[in-house]
Amino acid sequence: MVDFIYGMLQPTITINGRSQSYNWGTQFFDVPPGDYEVAVSYPWVFTPQCGKNSVRFRIGPGEVRRVHYTAGIIRFIAGTIRLT
Protein backbone atom coordinates (compact mmCIF):
# COMPACT_ATOMS: atom_id res chain seq x y z
CA MET A 1 0.00 0.00 0.00
CA VAL A 2 2.79 2.43 0.92
CA ASP A 3 4.55 1.77 -2.41
CA PHE A 4 1.34 2.58 -4.28
CA ILE A 5 0.92 5.91 -2.48
CA TYR A 6 4.54 6.97 -3.00
CA GLY A 7 4.32 5.84 -6.63
CA MET A 8 1.74 8.57 -7.28
CA LEU A 9 4.17 11.26 -6.07
CA GLN A 10 7.30 12.53 -7.76
CA PRO A 11 10.24 13.29 -5.49
CA THR A 12 12.13 16.55 -5.84
CA ILE A 13 15.92 16.39 -5.95
CA THR A 14 17.74 19.61 -5.13
CA ILE A 15 21.43 19.96 -5.96
CA ASN A 16 23.07 23.12 -4.62
CA GLY A 17 19.73 24.94 -4.56
CA ARG A 18 18.49 23.88 -8.01
CA SER A 19 15.39 21.67 -7.78
CA GLN A 20 13.70 19.34 -10.23
CA SER A 21 11.09 16.57 -9.95
CA TYR A 22 12.02 13.04 -11.03
CA ASN A 23 10.51 9.58 -10.94
CA TRP A 24 11.42 7.37 -7.98
CA GLY A 25 14.46 5.25 -8.71
CA THR A 26 18.05 5.71 -9.76
CA GLN A 27 19.04 9.05 -11.28
CA PHE A 28 22.44 10.01 -12.69
CA PHE A 29 23.95 13.50 -12.61
CA ASP A 30 27.18 14.45 -14.35
CA VAL A 31 28.64 17.27 -12.25
CA PRO A 32 32.07 18.89 -12.09
CA PRO A 33 34.34 18.48 -9.05
CA GLY A 34 33.33 20.60 -6.08
CA ASP A 35 31.21 20.85 -2.95
CA TYR A 36 27.60 19.71 -3.12
CA GLU A 37 24.47 19.62 -1.05
CA VAL A 38 21.83 17.17 -2.26
CA ALA A 39 18.33 17.25 -0.76
CA VAL A 40 15.36 15.00 -1.49
CA SER A 41 11.70 15.57 -0.63
CA TYR A 42 8.27 14.84 -2.05
CA PRO A 43 4.94 16.68 -2.07
CA TRP A 44 2.01 15.69 0.12
CA VAL A 45 -1.36 17.45 0.27
CA PHE A 46 -0.49 21.03 1.34
CA THR A 47 3.16 20.33 2.15
CA PRO A 48 5.51 20.58 -0.85
CA GLN A 49 8.54 19.14 0.98
CA CYS A 50 7.57 16.12 3.06
CA GLY A 51 10.35 13.81 4.23
CA LYS A 52 13.01 16.37 3.30
CA ASN A 53 16.57 15.53 4.20
CA SER A 54 19.94 16.48 2.77
CA VAL A 55 23.59 15.49 2.70
CA ARG A 56 26.75 17.52 1.98
CA PHE A 57 29.88 16.14 0.35
CA ARG A 58 32.81 16.95 -1.93
CA ILE A 59 33.49 15.35 -5.31
CA GLY A 60 37.04 15.20 -6.64
CA PRO A 61 38.13 14.84 -10.29
CA GLY A 62 36.94 11.51 -11.73
CA GLU A 63 35.21 10.58 -8.48
CA VAL A 64 31.75 9.02 -8.34
CA ARG A 65 29.47 9.51 -5.35
CA ARG A 66 26.23 7.69 -4.72
CA VAL A 67 23.46 9.23 -2.61
CA HIS A 68 20.72 6.96 -1.30
CA TYR A 69 17.38 8.32 -0.01
CA THR A 70 14.61 6.32 1.62
CA ALA A 71 11.29 7.95 2.46
CA GLY A 72 9.99 7.23 5.93
CA ILE A 73 6.69 5.59 6.75
CA ILE A 74 5.63 8.77 8.58
CA ARG A 75 5.52 11.46 5.91
CA PHE A 76 6.32 14.43 8.10
CA ILE A 77 9.56 12.98 9.49
CA ALA A 78 12.78 13.36 7.47
CA GLY A 79 13.64 10.44 5.24
CA THR A 80 16.99 8.69 5.49
CA ILE A 81 19.73 10.02 3.20
CA ARG A 82 23.32 8.81 3.07
CA LEU A 83 26.36 8.38 0.88
CA THR A 84 26.95 4.78 -0.16
Question: Residue 3 — pLDDT band, cuts 50, 70, 90?
Answer: low
pLDDT more than 90, % of the chain? 74
Question: Tell me: the pLDDT tens digits for 27-62?
Answer: 999 999 999 999 999 998 888 899 999 999 999 999
Environment class of residue 24 by beta-carbon count within 10 Å: exposed (0-12), middle (13-18) or buried (19+)? middle
pLDDT given at position 23: 92
pTM: 0.88
Q: Are 70 and 80 in contact (CB under 8 A)?
A: yes
C-beta separation of 58 from 34 below 8 A: yes
What is the predicted pLDDT for the residue at 82? 97
CA distance 66 to 23: 17
